[in-house]
Amino acid sequence: AFVEHEAKAEDNPRFNEINYKELREFAFVGRSNVGKSSLINCILGQKLMDANKRPGKTKQLHYVNLPYSNCYLVDCPGYGFARVDLKEKESWGKLMQNYIFHSKSLRRMMILIDAKVGFGAMDKMLCDLLDQKEVPYIFVLTKCDKINETRLKKSILKLKKHPLSSSASPVIFMTSSLNFYGVNELAAYISYIVSM
């Protein structure tokens, strides 16, 4: 509940100032169908993203403001879906390159990787772009409920073969939106970064 002061907030220019240096963005990216919408919904504790959309359909960046903060979760379009043609792949590349190179507020990028599918060529391309701009990124394995521990360990080993640049976090999160495995840890990590 709140009451409104006589002088309305929107009349005060200081409330309308946008300080781009202080805005913080945490982007989520990964192959189409990796489970990105499901994971974002899990983290936020509410269904904001449509998890039932056709794979490869999202072509824009979706910004979700974290309540009472200057932070945004940014849902990036998925990549590498088989049905998506070359033109669409190119436009995805341009969009992401533009975003990574020109956003003043991008603080972290979470690269989602399906635990069963593993690290692929498009993931590598994305890491290279982030390395060039020195944007810190973190690997998040999704759908960990779908594989047993042995296969999960193999997925992690494969991921660890990707040489760590100074931009890559040594921490790899393991998650499942189905049974909420690792979701609290990831949400806590984001809260920690938000409060820094």
Q: Is 35 in the site for ligand GDP (CB under 6 A)?
A: yes
Helix %, strand %, coil % of the chain (to 5):
40, 20, 40
Rounded least distance, CB 113 to ligand GDP, Å? 11
Q: Is 176 in the site for ligand GDP (CB under 6 A)?
A: yes
Q: Is 108 in the site for ligand GDP (CB under 6 A)?
A: no
Q: Is 155 in the site for ligand GDP (CB under 6 A)?
A: no
Q: Is 178 in the site for ligand GDP (CB under 6 A)?
A: yes
CA 58/CA 56 separation, integer angstroms: 6
Q: For helices 121-133 and 86-102, what crossing angle results, to 10°?
A: 20
Residue 143: phi and psi, rounded to 5, are 55, 40
Closest residue by beta carbon to ligand GDP: 35
Please name the helix (run of DSSP H) or strand (run of DSSP E) that holds residue 184, with its range, or none: helix 183-195
Quick one: which segment of 17-25, 34-42, 120-128, 160-168 binds ligand GDP (CB under 6 A)?
A: 34-42
3-state secondary structure of 195: helix
Q: Contacting ligand GDP (CB under 6 A), which of 25, 26, 32, 110?
A: 32
Quick one: which segment of 16-24, 121-129, 157-165, 175-183 binds ligand GDP (CB under 6 A)?
A: 175-183
